[in-house]
């Protein structure tokens, strides 16, 4: 249930907490469903959209979990915002490797993880066999029984067709249901994207960001178009330290930036990445660790 009827718009931030695992079995009629998903990385629509569409990002679940664990670790704060309760039925939309699905289930909620990536779902099922995971398209999914809440962390900004996603979310929620999500917000990784654009332009290539990073107002309006009333929304800076030391920025671009770098021929990409590092080193590399200029949007909406 929604615990506060006031609409809140603010700036703020939350720190990550430790990862907790564990899961309870759920039980819809969905098993290993026909899905629609490209093999893209975890913060992305890559793992959430149609397999017949061309895929640019290559997905490596082991590299994601070991080298980019900040994605699901920061998601702990979004779980706190969800406030899951025992007996609730909750959908984790874009569950990736299942860590947050398991974390939500620790509350006693009956949680279903949904993702379109074959690699992600396989990894999640291996790690949390007690949990239910299904493969479906975030833009077009349905279940026989409604959910009390739909949760999503670090996925939705990879899906340009937010209207289709939100229509499916609204359809999946029962009366009084809530939608709790975090995604990249307006200005997210702007320094990185700008540096890539400049380096690409110097070599004669045009680069466009593949992501959807809305403002509070833009997203609240879109939610309301689909019958979801915004109860809480905040856009905040969250500078994020990248793992793997001085290789952190290059690793981030290799993991999450294939779509961004796709107009650049493969034999020129390393040169572009080196140029990006040179442009950002003074402001974003300190004591051997890169920081990405993340900005996040968190929302709670209700039916």
Distance CA 57, CA 52 (A): 14
Domains, the chain, ranges and CATH?
A: 8-187+210-239+295-302 (3.40.50.150)
Q: Which residues neighbour 67 within 8 Å (Cβ) at sequence distance 6 or greater?
A: 243, 244, 251, 255
pLDDT in tens, 4-31: 433 444 444 333 322 223 354 333 332 2
To 5 degrees, how large is the angle CA 129–CA 133–CA 135? 140
Radius of gyration of the chain (CA): 19
pTM score: 0.80
Query: In the predicted model, is pLDDT for residue 268 greater than 60?
Result: yes
> Could you give the C-alpha distances from 84 to 36, 183, 296, in angstroms and in order?
28, 19, 21
> What confidence category does residue 43 fall into, taking pLDDT thresholds of 50, 70 and 90?
very low
Beta strand extents in 101-228 (DSSP E only): 110-115, 132-135, 147-153, 173-184
Whether residue 64 contacts residue 93, with contact meaning beta carbons closer than 8 Å, is answered with no
pLDDT in tens, 128-170: 999 999 999 999 999 999 999 999 999 999 999 999 999 999 9
Residue 54 in 3-state DSSP? coil
Whether residue 158 contacts residue 40, with contact meaning beta carbons closer than 8 Å, is answered with yes
Q: Which residues neighbour 37 within 8 Å (Cβ) at sequence distance 6 or greater?
A: 46, 47, 48, 49, 50, 51, 115, 116, 117, 118, 135, 136, 137
């Amino acid at each position: 249930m929604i615990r506060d009827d006031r609409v809140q718009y603010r700036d703020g931030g939350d720190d990550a907490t430790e990862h907790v695992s564990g899961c309870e079995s759920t039980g819809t009629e969905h098993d290993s469903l026909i899905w629609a998903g490209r093999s893209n990385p975890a913060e992305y629509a890559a793992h959430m959209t149609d397999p017949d569409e061309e895929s640019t990002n290559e997905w490596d679940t082991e590299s994601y979990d070991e080298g980019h664990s900040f994605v699901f670790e920061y998601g702990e704060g979004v779980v706190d915002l969800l406030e899951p309760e025992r007996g609730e039925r909750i959908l984790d939309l874009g569950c990736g490797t299942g860590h947050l699905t398991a974390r939500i289930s620790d509350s006693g909620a009956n949680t279903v993880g949904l993702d379109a990536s074959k690699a992600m779902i396989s990894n999640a099922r291996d790690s949390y066999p007690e949990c239910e995971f299904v493969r479906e398209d975030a833009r077009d999914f349905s279940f026989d029984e409604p959910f009390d809440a739909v949760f999503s962390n670090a996925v939705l900004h990879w899906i340009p067709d937010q209207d289709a996603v939100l229509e499916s979310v609204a359809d999946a929620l029962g009366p009084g249901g809530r939608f709790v999500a975090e995604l990249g917000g307006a200005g997210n990784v702007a320094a990185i994207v700008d540096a890539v654009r400049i380096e690409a332009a110097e070599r004669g290539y045009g680069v466009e960001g593949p992501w959807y990073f809305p403002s509070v107002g833009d997203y609240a309006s879109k939610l309301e178009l689909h019958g979801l009333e915004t109860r809480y929304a905040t856009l905040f800076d969250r500078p994020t330290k990248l793992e793997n030391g001085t290789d952190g920025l290059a690793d981030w671009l290799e993991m999450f930036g294939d779509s961004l770098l796709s107009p650049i021929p493969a034999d020129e990409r390393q040169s572009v990445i080196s140029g990006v590092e040179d442009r950002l080193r003074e402001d974003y590399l300190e004591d051997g660790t890169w920081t990405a200029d993340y900005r996040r949007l968190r929302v709670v909406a209700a039916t």
